[in-house]
Amino acid sequence: MGNPRITLLKRPEALLCSTPAGLYSPAGDFYIDPVRPVDRALITHGHSDHARSGHQKVMATQQTLDIMGLRYGANFAGETQAADLGKSTEINGVTVSFHPAGHVLGSAQIAVEKDGMRIVASGDYKRRADPTCLGFEPVACDVFITEATFALPVFRHPDSRDEIAKLLRSVEQFPERSHLVGAYALGKAQRVIRMLRDAGYDRTIYIHGALAKLCDYYETQGVSLGHLAPATIETGDTADFAGAIIVGPPSAFLDRWARRFPDPVSCFASGWMRIRQRARQQGVELPIILSDHCDWDELTDTITELGPSQVWVTHGREEALVRWCDLNGFAARPLHLVGYEDEGD
């Protein structure tokens, strides 16, 4: 098992390697998702653990560049270059191309190629259908760099539509209570809202102010979110939110903002809600298991589908996935990159 192109695989580290600043291409003199300011950065997506401000030159999809501008301001980088999906660009003799990752709006895998060797850095990715972004596109490669956020057999995500249906059943069961849904500001919040619309929920959805700019941007990109309104009570009464769905970033549920709503049902949309103890520790009454990352089966199925000669594993449960690769005939190793969290889940 494995890619027959292994005969071409001499020293992949000369094309891409792990450094304290992140993945670095010695041949192309650029970084992928660096954790500190560098001269040239290629960015996979807009989550803050991958997309940081302060780089001199940034290349990413136009949507990711737009999102970085919304989050960091117009001057987040010295220069920017928009990457067209599927189109090759040469950087210092290295061919670079961006391909859909299915993680959030604008997310991309980055393929780097030189002298017959291709390495694909997946960034964060998922294989499930998502109405708010393009789906993952498999790209043949010699080395596949995969995330491992949920790389343990215990993580098998349920059907996403069933999780949204669970939320709607609770809203119907407790019409006197508000439902506060914790969801990360980029990607998860918009996915929850769009899936509620697809499930037939047409009432106003209230959002925390931290989501407004990104929700507005999604609308400009053709992702219809229906009628949204600010989740404020300055001009109304707490009773106005009885039976309502309110979406906000998880951090907002720890402050006084969350206590203004009537007898709220605390919900959290995350793959981590598979772990009941974690849900209890966070005071979540209604866990919604909805992830923007692959589960165990999706990770292993993706590696099997691609058949790379080598698998490099990063940020997450690295050792378990490396062990699975070894047992299934794929040469693999952990990268031990630091500075990447699970903001997008």
DSSP-derived letter for residue 184 is -
Indicate the residue among 289, 308, 323 that finishes a domain.
289
Same domain, 170 and 141: no
- Give the mean pLDDT of the chain: 93
Q: Is residue 45 part of a domain?
A: yes
Confidence band of 147 (pLDDT split at 50, 70, 90): very high
243: domain CATH number is: 3.40.50.12650
Q: Is residue 280 part of a domain?
A: yes
> Any bridge partners for residue 314, and if so which?
147
Among 322, 312, 178, residue whose Cα is nearest residue 239: 178
Average pLDDT of span 240-263 = 87
Confidence band of 29 (pLDDT split at 50, 70, 90): very high
Q: Is residue 341 part of a domain?
A: no
DSSP-derived letter for residue 10 is S
| CA-CA-CA-CA dihedral for 282, 286, 292, 297, to nearest 10 | 100
Q: Is residue 340 part of a domain?
A: no
Q: Is the pLDDT of residue 151 over 60?
A: yes
Same domain, 27 and 138: yes
Q: Is residue 339 part of a domain?
A: no
Give the separation between CA 258 and CA 337, rounded to whole angstroms.
35
- Domain residues for 101? 12-153+293-334
Q: What is the pLDDT of residue 8?
A: 41
- Tally of domains within the chain: 2
Indicate the residue among 289, 304, 323 that finishes a domain.
289
Same domain, 262 and 297: no
Q: What is the pLDDT of residue 4?
A: 44
Average pLDDT of span 13-29 = 95
Q: What is the pLDDT of residue 161?
A: 98
Angle, vertex CA 103, rays to CA 97 and CA 105, nearest 5: 80
Same domain, 54 and 116: yes
Q: Is residue 4 part of a domain?
A: no
Q: Is the pLDDT of residue 245 over 90?
A: yes
Same domain, 284 and 302: no
Higher-confidence residue of 193 and 233: namely 193
The pair of three-digit structure tokens given for residue 184, joined into one six-digit string:
């990360």
Residue pLDDT, tens place only, 275-326: 999 999 888 999 999 999 999 999 999 999 999 999 999 988 899 999 999 9
Q: What is the pLDDT of residue 286?
A: 97
Same domain, 256 and 211: yes
Same domain, 165 and 285: yes
Confidence band of 6 (pLDDT split at 50, 70, 90): very low
Q: Is residue 141 part of a domain?
A: yes
Same domain, 284 and 209: yes
72: domain CATH number is: 3.60.15.10
Q: Is residue 76 part of a domain?
A: yes
